[in-house]
Amino acid sequence: MMSCKEMIDACLRDCPWGMRDTVSVYAPANIALCKYWGKRDLELNLPVTDSLSISLGALGSHCTMSIGDEDAYFLDGVWVTPEEPFAKRLCSFLDLFRGRDGCHYRVEAVNTVATAAGFASSASGFAAVVMALDQLHGWRLDARTLSIFARMGSGSACRSLWNGFVHWYAGKEEDGSDCYAEPLHSDWKDLRVGLVSVDAGPKSVSSREAMNRTVATSALYGGWPQQVDQDMATLRDAIAARDFQALGLCAEQNAMAMHATMMAARPAVLYWQPATLEILQAVWSMRAEGVPLYFTMDAGPNVKVLFTEDARDQVLLKFPDAQLANPWET
């Protein structure tokens, strides 16, 4: 079995190893409409199933990176001590890429979505780090390789290299060489995503822990792969036809199915708070009144609402504090 380090070394073997002074990049966060939930390989972050996401446009992670005498990490303008989980995880990831001279990195990350709260900041963060490394060292890697590298930091990061819709292929190879993401062509430019926050603090159970516990102990997880196969086909057809009702209903049902598998884990993983359920009921009530509005949820208590631009005023009237995202905004 090939390790992450061995896979990366093989990809970089013939690449130049330059040293630019400083680079700054941006990667959008992404929200899965058909969820990534469950791994067939823990180290390589190889998923059990395909997944499909939509980006959050201007909501994501800015990353400025330079070479230094020692590692130094800053998150939203604040120095992160080496003992903090953010620093440990980032350092372990950078260890996979350090050059022949064992170079050190200064990383300044600024997230425009809440960190570790279920708004996909780790996806945009690791995608931005990979993009910055590529530019800093002048590797000039293709998008597929960058997607594979980003996946090794955080599975869903492989989808954060592009705006719009992105399909992540689970692949079948043991080394993960066929496990990468690609953008889907779509000109559905009036589609919008709203982030409705319940709790912007870190989650009580990390996505990684919740996922592993669900796969290992949930009696409902056995039906999840078949659910994904059906939902992937439905979503791709809906995107091709620009059928918002089909897309919204499928995304909503897929999210509910994922959370159901978590609730059936032992011990159960339940991210919902009372305010979460209030938001879901508000979406259902608005839809019953004729407003085309749907929701999706990742691991966490926060809700993402799906709507089209013509419903913008009604969404803001109901959820005035929502962050609105245009998936195609650069």
Domain CATH code at residue 292: 3.30.70.890
| 195 and 109 share one domain | no
| 89 and 53 share one domain | yes
Banded model confidence at residue 119, pLDDT cuts 50, 70, 90: very low
Range of the domain at 62: 4-183
115 belongs to a structural domain: yes
Banded model confidence at residue 317, pLDDT cuts 50, 70, 90: very high
Banded model confidence at residue 100, pLDDT cuts 50, 70, 90: low
18 Cβ contact partners less than 8 Å away, ≥ 6 residues apart? 136, 137, 138
- State mean pLDDT over 116-139: 85
Side chain identity, residue 161: L
| 163 and 211 share one domain | no
Cα 267 to Cα 275: distance, rounded to the nearest angstrom = 23
pLDDT value, residue 101: 65
Token pair listed for 250:
């499928």
pLDDT value, residue 137: 95
Q: How far apart are the first and last CA of the chain?
A: 39
Query: Which tens digit of pLDDT belongs to each residue from 181-196?
Result: 999 999 899 999 999 9
- Per DSSP, 222 falls in state G
pLDDT value, residue 115: 61
Q: Which of 107-116, 154-163, 263-272 has the lowest mean pLDDT?
A: 107-116
Cβ contact 109:62 at 8 Å: yes
Cα 193 to Cα 252: distance, rounded to the nearest angstrom = 13
Single out the residue of 53, 43, 52, 51 nearest to residue 176, CA to CA.
Answer: 43
| 179 and 298 share one domain | no
Banded model confidence at residue 120, pLDDT cuts 50, 70, 90: low
- State mean pLDDT over 80-93: 95
**pTM (2 d.p.):** 0.95
| 32 and 122 share one domain | yes
61 belongs to a structural domain: yes
Cα 168 to Cα 213: distance, rounded to the nearest angstrom = 22
Q: Is the pLDDT score of 118 beyond 50?
A: no
Which of 155, 183, 211 is where one domain is finished? 183
83 belongs to a structural domain: yes
210 belongs to a structural domain: yes
| 168 and 257 share one domain | no
Side chain identity, residue 293: L
| 45 and 132 share one domain | yes
Mean pLDDT of the chain: 94
Which of 122, 151, 183 is where one domain is finished? 183
213 belongs to a structural domain: yes
- Per DSSP, 198 falls in state S
236 belongs to a structural domain: yes
330 belongs to a structural domain: no
| 168 and 273 share one domain | no
- Per DSSP, 70 falls in state S
Token pair listed for 115:
């960190």
- State mean pLDDT over 292-304: 96
pLDDT value, residue 129: 97
Banded model confidence at residue 19, pLDDT cuts 50, 70, 90: confident
| 53 and 88 share one domain | yes
In this structure, what CATH number is given to the domain that contains residue 20?
A: 3.30.230.10
Query: What Rg value do the Cα atoms of the chain yield, rounded?
Result: 19
Token pair listed for 78:
């604040």
**143-153: b or e for each residue (b if 16 or more CB lie within 10 Å)?**
eebbbbbbbbb
Question: To the nearest whole percent, how much of the chain has pLDDT over 90?
Answer: 90
Token pair listed for 68:
């230094």
| 197 and 297 share one domain | yes
| 136 and 203 share one domain | no
Q: How many domains does the chain have?
A: 2
Query: Which tens digit of pLDDT belongs to each residue from 232-274?
Result: 999 999 999 999 999 999 999 999 999 999 999 999 999 999 9
Residue-wise DSSP of 130-148: HHHHHHHHT----HHHHHH
Cα 192 to Cα 304: distance, rounded to the nearest angstrom = 10
CA distances from 234 to 90, 205, 239, 289 (A): 36, 31, 9, 25
Which of 183, 209, 224 is where one domain is finished? 183
90 belongs to a structural domain: yes
Instruction: Give the SS3 label for residue 232.
Output: helix
Question: Measured over all CA atoms, what is the biggest interatomic distance in the chain, rounded to whole angstroms?
Answer: 63
180 Cβ contact partners less than 8 Å away, ≥ 6 residues apart? 144, 147, 148, 151, 158, 168, 169, 171
How many CB atoms neighbour CB 88 within 10 A?
A: 14
| 231 and 321 share one domain | yes
- State mean pLDDT over 206-220: 95
